[in-house]
Amino acid sequence: MSIEPSTSSKCIINTSKGRIDVELWARELPNTTKIFLESCQGQKLQRFDGVRSNGTVTIVGGSPDKKLDYERHARIRGCRRGSVGYDRNVNQWFFASQECSIEDDSWILIGKIVGESNYVLRRIVGESQLDDRGKFVYPPIVNKTEVTVPHFDLGTLPQVGPNLPKEEKPRFFKRGNAKVKLSYEEEEEEEDYERDAVPLKKIKPPPGVKDKGKNDPSTKTQALKEKEPTEEISLREKETLALLSQFQQRQKGRDNILNRRP
């Protein structure tokens, strides 16, 4: 049977590896837990730093300006897997990835990771690559922190947040029927061009060339001839006139004979 007291405050730490739910002993350890909650509400936690030899996973960001005074409770004794605390030696918050022994007053245990969040912490340690000093080669990022049960009156704190480049989410485009948008800009441009077009100027000929046709008599005579209607007599009409003239001459001859006196 556990002798630990019940928790009175809760917060959520959303990381690039998953969500971590934390419960805190705010009544039993008010000074330390309040500073941790203020760091969470102010979005000061940035990333995980590394895994130390004792199994604690340290966090960058949200550390107090100065080392906190030691604070403890008689019913909070052992540090086991999932414990949340403050390391006074390095002035950093930490999560315990395994059971640790506390021999001095350098650690202040303020809470614990609950639920399936313990698997997220195990994945952070197991799947991450560490260098020779135990630092993360590709540190898991703290995207956002939320205080769900504050217990204290934290007020409105400035949202600081980590100064890290945000990963761009992939964009998904919806498929749909292609719609053709008619554009009348070209027609409007043509109309504007015709409206704004400059009219062409008539080229005036030199003075001598302009009046040359008016003063030339040959040109006038030719124009008059072209205007006069030409009367053309057909060949049949000519024959008819010739026969008529012969007939008239014959009639004149007969009249002379008839008018002769015996």
Q: In DSSP terms, which residues pair with 100 in a beta bridge?
A: 79
The letter for the amino acid at 11 is C
Lowest mean pLDDT among 100-114, 115-129, 235-249: 235-249
Could you tell me where the beta strands, DSSP code E, fall in 97-224? 107-113, 142-149
Q: Which of 124, 71, 136 is nearest to 95 (CA)?
A: 124
Find where tokens 């100065």 sit: 66
CB 37 within 8 A of CB 149: no
**Distance of alpha carbon 64 from alpha carbon 108, whole angstroms:** 13
Q: Which of 166, 135, 151, 141 is nearest to 35 (CA)?
A: 151
Find where tokens 């960001």 sit: 61
What pLDDT was estimated at residue 184? 52
What pLDDT was estimated at residue 166? 46
The predicted-structure confidence for 47-90, as pLDDT tens digits, reads as follows 999 999 999 999 999 999 999 999 999 999 889 999 999 999 99
The predicted-structure confidence for 149-187, as pLDDT tens digits, reads as follows 999 988 765 555 544 444 445 555 556 555 655 555 555
Residue 222, both tokens: 């030719």
Report domain extents, the chain. 9-149
Q: How confident is the model at residue 248 (pLDDT cuts 50, 70, 90)?
A: confident
What pLDDT was estimated at residue 34? 95
The rounded mean pLDDT for the chain is 79
Find where tokens 């004792």 sit: 54
What pLDDT was estimated at residue 217? 56
Given a cut of 90, is residue 112 above it in pLDDT?
Answer: yes
Pick the CATH number of 9-149 from 1.20.58.220, 2.40.50.1020, 2.40.100.10, 3.40.50.10330: 2.40.100.10
Q: How confident is the model at residue 40 (pLDDT cuts 50, 70, 90)?
A: very high
Given a cut of 80, is residue 14 above it in pLDDT?
Answer: yes
What pLDDT was estimated at residue 262? 47
